[in-house]
Amino acid sequence: MTYLSNCEQKTLDFASTFSSSLKGGEVFLLDGTLGSGKSVFIRGIATGLGIKNRLTSPTFVIMKIYSVKKRNSSVKRLIHVDAYRVEAEDLFQIGLQEYLNDPQTAVFIEWGSKVEKKFKKSKINFTKIKIRKVKASASGGNKLSDQERQIIIE
Ligand SMILES: Nc1ncnc2c1ncn2[C@@H]1O[C@H](COP(=O)(O)OP(=O)(O)OP(=O)(O)O)[C@@H](O)[C@H]1O
Ligand SMILES: [Mg+2]
């Protein structure tokens, strides 16, 4: 599935809508360059799940766990990981694996390609999400085209 977003709010809304399809047990590996919108996308997921806490970047925290209060949601927990500065082994060290494919948990990992090999070896089921900045072309570098993002859910 590919979605074309032309501003931050559109990405938030798309992610929020997408969150309603979550059942629990999902693991998403997000990739895209710095500032492509991985964190924004996950913030939209959190909003969609009714999580009120401000979702800050876990770059220094590595892993953040949010509990889903929404009554009718089968997802009880949202985990946001930023693998930028760590390796898969580090994530297993801090206990991530107990949440991977856990039926009540949805896990979103920024810089997911860093953990892909290890996850495959460990038989973790995952879905890749790629976010691409769409290059300003014919329209010639105007401000709006700087905000275009292609969100690909494989
Ligand atoms: N269509 C869009 N969707 C999402 N973000 C957008 C869009 N257009 C512009 N932006 C801006 O791009 C930036 C995305 O930042 P964000 O922190 O989500 O990126 P990131 O991929 O998580 O980066 P990092 O790799 O540093 O963690 C924000 O400043 C946001 O306002
Ligand atoms: Mg980020």
pTM of the prediction? Answer: 0.93
Closest CA to 96 of 73, 118, 117, 79: 79
- Whether the CB-CB separation of 11 and 37 falls below 8 Å is answered with yes
Q: pLDDT of 82-94, one tens digit each?
A: 999 999 999 999 9
Half-sphere exposure of residue 125, counting CA atoms within 13 Å on the CB side? 8
Q: pLDDT of 27-76, one tens digit each?
A: 999 999 999 999 999 999 999 999 987 766 665 678 999 999 888 899 99
Is any atom of ligand 1 closer than 6 Å to the C-beta of 110?
A: yes
CA angle 120, 124, 127 (to 5 degrees): 90
Residue of the CA atom closest to atom 6 of ligand 1: 8
Is any atom of ligand 1 closer than 6 Å to the C-beta of 48?
A: no
Q: Which domains does the chain have, with CATH numbers?
A: 2-153 (3.40.50.300)
